[in-house]
Amino acid sequence: MTGCVVLFEIWMLFLVIVGTGEKVQLQRLIDRSADIVAGATEQDVERLLGNPIRRSEARGGMARFLFGKRPAEWVYGTTINLQIVLIPELPIPNPLPLNIRLFGRHQEDLAVHWTPQKKVLAVIRPELNLPEHVVRFYEPICVAAEIAHHFRSRDGDGRPAR
């Protein structure tokens, strides 16, 4: 029994550590997104922010009627939702606190809205309010991850992969 409790505690610690790291990385993307201006191209946004976690076309038809109008959207966000590590209103931990985006983006997601001509219409930036000491702690990890991603996304001849 105590072995299961210890494993569960390790799992919860893992979720908090990884989830916090994701939030720090998202804050870095939000900061970088300040350089995105209306009319920028998809290539401009990908160069600054990388690939989004979700690309959605503009809502049309019945979805537009049921859920409202929304332009094409790219979403940058986290997988782990730290707000639900403990189930709200109950004193029990949530073993899978995941952000599920069935009908749209999460309130803490960075979103880029697009015109029908594939130009930036608007950038929606959430406020995360991360403590400075947390950001400083994760900074070397984020930089190392970006360097690794940079080298992974290149062909053998040193040019960006297509």
Quick check: 90 and 47 in contact, CB under 8 A? no
Compute the Cα dihedral for 8, 16, 125, 25 and give only its sign.
Answer: negative
Per-residue model confidence as pLDDT tens digits over 72-86: 999 999 999 988 888
Hey, how many other C-beta atoms are within 10 angstroms of the C-beta on 99? 21
Instruction: Note the pLDDT of residue 162.
Output: 47
Using DSSP, state whether 102 is helix, strand or coil: coil
Per-residue model confidence as pLDDT tens digits over 22-61: 999 999 999 999 999 999 999 999 999 999 999 999 888 8
Average pLDDT over residues 124-146: 91
Q: Given a cut of 70, is residue 160 above it in pLDDT?
A: no
The sheet carrying 72-76 orders its strands as: 54-56, 72-76, 110-114, 120-124
First CA to last CA across the chain, in angstroms? 51
- Look up the pTM and report it: 0.83
Q: Spell out where the chain has E strands.
A: 54-56, 72-76, 110-114, 120-124
CA distance 147 to 101: 29
Phi, psi of 147, deg, nearest 5:
-65, -45
Using DSSP, state whether 139 is helix, strand or coil: helix
